[in-house]
Structure 1
Amino acid sequence: MTMTDWRIFQYDSEQDQQGAECPPSPEIVQPGHYIVLSITGERIRVGIKATLPRPRIPTHSNTPACESHYRPRARTRDGKCLITGLQTQTYSRLKVAHIFPRAHDKEWTRKGYASKIIDTADEGVMGGPTKIDSVQNLITIRSDLHDAWDNYDFGVDPNNNYRIIAFINGNEDINGLHLQLDHIQDQALRPLDELFLDHFMQGLYKHMKGAGETEWTYEDYDSVFGDGSFDMSNPKLWNTRQGKQLFEITLADRLFDNGISQHGVSM
């Protein structure tokens, strides 16, 4: 973080010299060396923000309870992938994704998001009193984009006409598109900008910071959580800081519906 106006420049690490300025562009940044300097090209002091990205597990739709819960409302509202516009007669190529993960319902409550939900549906279809399963916290997207969304590989910038920003390579087909929300005229059904911004910031925290402890790869996630499984046989994964966090939120996620039923909310 810095209070000084800054620009990004190319950087020659061998010669320790700055190169050309990198102007704002919709293109995905290519791998290389870059340096943050003042607008006049002078070196500045930049602090490192300690905030870590919120851990998130892949969402799976293999439980009948979930199928009769929040997904039909999002599908009815959207009818297509809100990123690409893909429409299908069935939903085999479309999935409903949470913007803010339901396993972090305590943080959701602490941030006051429940009070911002104006959805008038019964609590039973909104995840109980927290309303975390409201359609205002859901988007319908193409199935192959679902894991990338959960992994914060791209985000939606609500302050730039809902532009899709890819944080890593491999998402060139969606980078620069705009989330399609014009069909949602009822504000009580429209996703909250605050939630998109929260998700966007998680992507920045995850992909725009220096390397620390090695993160789980997509293959690690798939081996542990693929097809709705919960494989705990690899201690090298579970003994890491991220593994311990994921274990906690996985239990919270899988007990979520049970917790709601204990509070007397019918699903």
Structure 2
Amino acid sequence: MTATVSFTIDSPLGPRPTTVAYERKGAGEPLLLLHGIGHHLQAWHPVIDILAAEHDVIAVDLPGFGASEPLPKGVPYSLGTVAPALGALCAALGVERPHVAGNSLGGLLALEMGRSDLVRSVTALSPAGFWTEAERRYAFATLLAMRAGAKALPLPAVRRLSRTAAGRAALTGTIYARPSRRPAEAVVAETLALRDATGFEDTLAAGGSVRFTDDVPGLPVTIAWGTRDRLLLRRQGIRAKHTVPGARLVRLPGCGHVPMNDDPALVSRVVLDTARSVRPVAA
């Protein structure tokens, strides 16, 4: 069941209240899950049960996406605002330095949380921020086209398309290598999430100048890339490895940009292996 939590974030405008939606399941060390731009926490549903067997899993709708409220008016959707806000969210939920796994935008935020020492391990799946300018323009143009398509299609058409493998490929083939595996109701929900995301444009605008150029020392980091990622091409993983030389770079065979649906077992294993590699604190 989705719940909400309200808390105060620091911003260039001073402290501001915000409310975020989340799902929580399992027990053990906390594990925070962050989705990509235009998506919602349900992107993690294919792997949540596996991860919850070992962890207290908290999947969140980022501010301005899914069921979460947008950031307060005038507050930028920047790394310097959103990553600390996620730290404040963890504090509001009684969680200290969770493991974090993120996809795309969520992967970039996960790395920023790691750089800021807010988490104990990082798994970044096709993280944003390691692109050339041409690759960034391509990705942003693709995202804008997907958003325009989601807005243009009436709900009955979305539902009709979701019932066939070809229709699911048309709606979600850009982000999934195996869109036919996605349940029809999930395809409808994520198309509506993309259409209705209040933070989409502001997040995209803030991302225009983003490059992740800092190391993330002192904690386990895994960067994983799908071999069939059509949005952020897998060569960006090599740049990510050069930027974070201590990271483990993992290939996800047959997976697209959002790999949790394409190979839940493999993605779960990558996340769990990263979390297990944290050295226990000495008594």
State TM-score, norm by structure 1: 0.32
Higher strand proportion (structure 1 or 2):
2
Greater C-alpha radius of gyration: 1
Higher helix proportion (structure 1 or 2):
2
